[in-house]
């Protein structure tokens, strides 16, 4: 319970940080679209100081769009989209490491690795297709470093296609093939692992069902002892017994006891004499 609570708190913290960044970027985009004065103190503070670090990795990827007097900064739009996708991916990865079941943990780790590979290849394909500047920091990291590790085995599978006025747009067919193959492998691997987990659970359930009746609670013998065929009878001693004895006064009691004791002695002697006569051999006359 504590690990689940901690997981939710960390996920909410990460979502909150990304949410704050996205909110700041939305305000920046709104100020640019409405054509606010770039020399106004608030605009200088918001665009040039507060949100400038959030925009820096995406500056120069695409040029701005002009719609009449309005200007749409594509770097801000791309930053909002990438922050949103990164927030979802980060919460999934964080949830992976708080899974208490080892089997579920393995499935989540494999699935997270596939998702990261898909994430990187999709952005590579999109940047190459839309003629993104390869010198922009974010594009350079994705195309030249991160995606190169996953894309390398698929280089040269199919030739790419270039189009546009200056052949600036590249339909990288090998990247598309890599994306499809990795998605299929992700689905197949997840299905196989869940199938193995389900078969193990079915085996354990069948073993429990094959046990004779009464064996399912063997582990609870100490807590629930089995009844014996002949339970021992407990001897119950009477309690609070009342015996009425007429006790004579002290003087009469002594006289009675002094009178009974000699008589008891006489009776014993007479019994002994009788026994001797009984066992004596008879004399022949």
Q: How far apart are the first and last CA of the chain?
A: 109
Integer Cα distance of 248 and 103 in angstroms: 89
Judge contact between 105 and 99, C-beta under 8 A. Answer: yes
User: H/E element holding 65?
Assistant: strand 65-67
Beta-carbon-side half-sphere exposure of residue 258 (alpha carbons within 13 Å): 6
**How do beta strands 161-163 and 169-171 pair?**
antiparallel
User: H/E element holding 267?
Assistant: helix 250-279
Query: Best-predicted range by mean pLDDT among 55-59, 66-70, 193-197, 267-271?
Result: 55-59
Single out the residue of 130, 120, 137, 138 nearest to residue 175, CA to CA: 120
Integer Cα distance of 37 and 162 in angstroms: 41
- Which of the two residues, 217 and 34, has the higher pLDDT score? 34
CA–CA–CA angle 128, 188, 161 (5° rounding): 20
CA–CA–CA angle 231, 235, 238 (5° rounding): 150
Q: Tell me the mean pLDDT in the region 82-107.
A: 85
119 pLDDT higher than 70 = yes
216 pLDDT higher than 50 = no
Integer Cα distance of 16 and 109 in angstroms: 24
Over residues 6-15, the pLDDT tens digits come to 888 898 999 9
Of 21-30, 126-135, 227-236, 272-281, the poorest mean pLDDT is in 227-236
- Supply the pLDDT for residue 162: 87
84 pLDDT higher than 50 = yes
Q: How confident is the model at residue 203 (pLDDT cuts 50, 70, 90)?
A: low
User: Which residue is associated with the tokens 């400038």?
Assistant: 52
- Which of the two residues, 216 and 66, has the higher pLDDT score? 66
Integer Cα distance of 218 and 210 in angstroms: 14
Q: How confident is the model at residue 196 (pLDDT cuts 50, 70, 90)?
A: confident
Judge contact between 157 and 173, C-beta under 8 A. Answer: yes
- Supply the pLDDT for residue 87: 92
Question: Average per-residue pLDDT in the chain?
Answer: 78
145 pLDDT higher than 90 = no
Judged on CB neighbours under 10 Å (0-12, 13-18, 19+), 107 is: buried
Query: What is the pTM assigned to this prediction?
Result: 0.62
279 pLDDT higher than 70 = no
């Amino acid at each position: 319970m504590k690990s689940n609570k901690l997981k939710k708190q960390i996920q909410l913290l990460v979502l909150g940080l990304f949410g704050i960044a996205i909110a700041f970027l939305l305000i920046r985009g709104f100020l640019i679209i409405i054509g606010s004065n770039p020399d106004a103190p608030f605009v200088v503070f918001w665009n040039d100081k507060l949100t400038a670090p959030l925009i820096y990795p995406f500056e120069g990827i695409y040029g701005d769009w002009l719609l009449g007097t309005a200007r749409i900064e594509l770097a801000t739009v791309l930053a909002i989209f990438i922050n949103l996708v990164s927030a979802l991916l980060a919460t999934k990865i964080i949830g992976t490491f708080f899974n208490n079941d080892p089997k579920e943990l393995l499935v989540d780790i494999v699935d997270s690795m596939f998702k990261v590979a898909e994430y990187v290849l999709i952005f590579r394909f999109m940047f190459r297709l839309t003629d993104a500047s390869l010198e922009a920091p974010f594009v350079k990291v994705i195309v030249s470093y991160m995606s190169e590790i996953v894309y390398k085995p698929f280089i040269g599978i199919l030739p790419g296609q270039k189009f546009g006025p200056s052949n600036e747009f590249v339909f990288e067919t090998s990247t598309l093939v890599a994306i499809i193959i990795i998605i299929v492998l992700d689905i197949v691997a997840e299905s196989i692992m869940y199938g193995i987990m389900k078969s193990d659970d079915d085996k354990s359930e069948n073993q429990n069902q094959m046990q004779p009746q009464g064996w399912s609670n063997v582990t609870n013998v100490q807590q629930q002892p089995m009844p014996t065929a002949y339970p021992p009878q407990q001897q119950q001693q009477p309690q609070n017994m009342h015996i009425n004895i007429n006790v004579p006064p002290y003087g009469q009691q002594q006289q009675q006891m002094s009178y009974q004791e000699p008589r008891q002695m006489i009776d014993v002697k007479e019994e002994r004499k009788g026994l001797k006569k009984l066992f004596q051999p008879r004399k022949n006359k």
